[in-house]
């Protein structure tokens, strides 16, 4: 690992995740509530729009990955592609929180989200591919993933607290606009930082046979472990996406603690950040697969408790956020590290294409969560702008807590049965020569 993985370079790499992660949380959590309450769009319409936009987004990610690999083969670095995309990402974020045509809010939401997701796809695919190509050593991949996801959690932590702080002080609309300006400025500041201090990964050139969508797809589908990993990643991601989509509605109407929503989210992501060293230590000793399996089971057990909570149960929900949040670090760090190991072990070189499909699956979980859960809640009679009855609140609690816990248990069962890493765990015992440290 040596100098190539010095703490300075790992920090620079991690800092690139901050504005991306901080911008992504409001899209999933705050934007549906903002447009529903202040721009007159129904939950059913928002759910349908988010599903449509996400489907467009998921279809374009493999193409972005393929084009990124092709650009790398022609001498354009992944870091350069990120630098080109960050200013456009910043502009799209500003447009999302400053709708210039409120009378056409639904159309504006659709167009700005497509632009934002396209820029996000270019940045995130190349960012994760850069990490996978940077160092392909088994333990190095854990360390790179841990640093990256630690900064992701810091960005999400700020994004969970700051919008609520700004909204409490200025109102929801102005508060989100101030937050959007902050994120846009942050993205621009990252451009020179991305250029400084991070060497291009010393990866093998991409073979011509994989520089086609068909060739890359064939390579992916031939990999049994990759197929298993995608299915498990999808189910686990879907279990995480459902509560992310409805959490603010749950806090506001089931717990009746809307003023504390930012603090609940902040505690959840802070616990996730603090839990990463624990999962790092555990992964070093029992392997990434077993580490992820333990975190998924523990998360489901902790989170299902939220189904029993009601109005005013602040202390209990803070505890739920802490316990389930502690498991978040493994949920975020282990899957991309497992994918990085797979790419090295099986000798795949079209890294961008693999992460393009990976990104597609991740985004599809949010599309389905919004496209299924929000219309289902509207069909069940839940209206966030009115006074929900007991039946609709029970449906909201089921959607927020019980359904995701059941899905996560299914994902954990599949991971336990899968061949992923089982033949690989014992090849990398803990050793003084490979220190696991942040």
* CATH for 404: 1.20.1250.20
Q: Which of 78-92, 115-129, 215-229, 273-287 has the lowest mean pLDDT?
A: 215-229
Report DSSP letters for 368-387, one per residue. HIIIIIHHHHHHTT--TTS-
Asked if residue 198 belongs to a domain, the reply is yes
438: pLDDT strictly greater than 50: no
Tokens of 310: 């009601």
109-137: per-residue pLDDT in tens? 989 989 988 988 888 888 888 877 777 66
Of 299, 367, 27, 341, residue with least CA distance to 163: 27
> Is the Cβ–Cβ distance between 89 and 23 less than 8 Å?
yes
pLDDT given for residue 397 in this prediction: 92
Distance CA 95, CA 90 (A): 9
Tell me if 379 is assigned to some domain. Answer: yes
| Cβ neighbours, 10 Å, residue 290 | 18
211: enclosing H helix or E strand: none
Cα-Cα-Cα-Cα dihedral sign, residues 135, 141, 147, 148? positive
Helix axes 224-249, 261-286, angle to 10 degrees: 160
In a domain, 436, yes or no: no
pLDDT of residue 28: 67
Helical segments of 74-202, H only: 78-97, 105-134, 138-170, 172-195
Find the range with the poorest average confidence among 168-172, 254-258, 404-408. 168-172
Residue 255: CA count within 13 A, CB half-sphere:
25
Place of tokens 């961008």: 352
Q: Note whether residue 38 is domain-resident.
A: yes
- pLDDT, tens digit (0-9, with 9 covering 90-100), for 177-236: 898 898 888 888 877 776 665 665 554 444 544 445 566 666 667 777 888 888 898 999
Per-position b or e across 335-360, b if 16+ CB within 10 A of its CB: bbbbbbbbbbbeebbbbbbbbbbbbb
| Angle, CA of 358, 135 and 337, to the nearest 5° | 35
Do the domain assignments include residue 431?
no
Residue 310 domain flag: yes
437 located within any domain: no
Looking at the structure of the chain, the number of domains it has is 1
Domain that holds residue 89: 2-425
Domain membership of residue 438 (yes or no) is no
């Amino acid at each position: 690992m040596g100098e190539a993985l010095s703490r300075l370079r790992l920090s620079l790499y991690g800092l690139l995740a901050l504005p991306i992660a901080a911008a992504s949380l409001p899209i999933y959590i705050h934007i549906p509530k903002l447009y529903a309450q202040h721009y007159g769009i129904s939950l059913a319409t928002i759910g349908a729009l988010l599903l449509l936009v996400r489907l467009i987004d998921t279809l374009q990610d493999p193409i972005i990955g393929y084009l990124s690999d092709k650009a790398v083969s022609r001498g354009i670095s992944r870091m350069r592609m990120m630098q080109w995309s960050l200013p456009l990402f910043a502009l799209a974020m500003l447009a999302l929180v400053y709708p210039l045509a409120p009378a056409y809010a639904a159309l504006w939401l659709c167009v700005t989200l497509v632009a934002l997701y396209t820029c996000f796809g270019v940045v995130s695919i190349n960012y994760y591919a850069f990490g996978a190509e940077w160092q392909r050593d088994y333990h190095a991949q854990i360390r790179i993933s841990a640093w990256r996801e630690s900064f992701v959690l810091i960005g999400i932590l700020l994004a969970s607290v700051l919008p609520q702080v700004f909204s409490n002080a200025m109102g929801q609309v102005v508060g989100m606009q101030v937050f959007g300006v902050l994120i846009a400025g942050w993205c621009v500041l990252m451009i020179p930082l991305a250029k400084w201090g991070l060497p291009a990964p010393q990866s093998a050139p991409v073979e011509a046979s994989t520089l086609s969508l068909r060739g890359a797809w064939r390579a992916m589908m031939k990999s049994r472990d990759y197929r298993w990993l995608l299915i498990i990643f999808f189910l686990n991601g879907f279990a995480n996406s459902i509560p992310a989509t409805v959490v603010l509605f749950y806090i506001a109407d089931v717990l009746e603690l809307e003023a504390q929503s930012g603090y609940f989210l902040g505690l959840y992501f802070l616990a996730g950040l603090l839990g990463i060293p624990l999962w790092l230590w555990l992964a070093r000793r029992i392997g990434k697969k077993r580490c992820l399996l333990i975190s998924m089971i523990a998360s489901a057990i902790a989170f299902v408790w939220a189904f029993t909570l009601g109005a005013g149960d602040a202390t209990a929900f803070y505890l739920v956020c802490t316990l389930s949040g502690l498991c978040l670090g493994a949920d975020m760090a282990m899957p991309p590290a497992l994918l990085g190991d797979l790419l090295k072990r099986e000798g795949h070189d079209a890294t961008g294409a693999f992460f393009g499909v990976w990104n597609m699956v991740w985004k599809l979980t949010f599309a389905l969560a919004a496209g299924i859960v929000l219309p289902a809640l509207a069909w069940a009679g839940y209206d966030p702008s009115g006074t929900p009855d007991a039946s609709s609140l029970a449906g909201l609690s089921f959607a927020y807590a019980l359904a995701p816990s059941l899905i996560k248990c299914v994902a954990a069962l599949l991971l336990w049965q899968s061949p992923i890493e089982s033949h690989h765990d014992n090849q990398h015992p803990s050793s003084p020569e490979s220190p696991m440290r942040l």
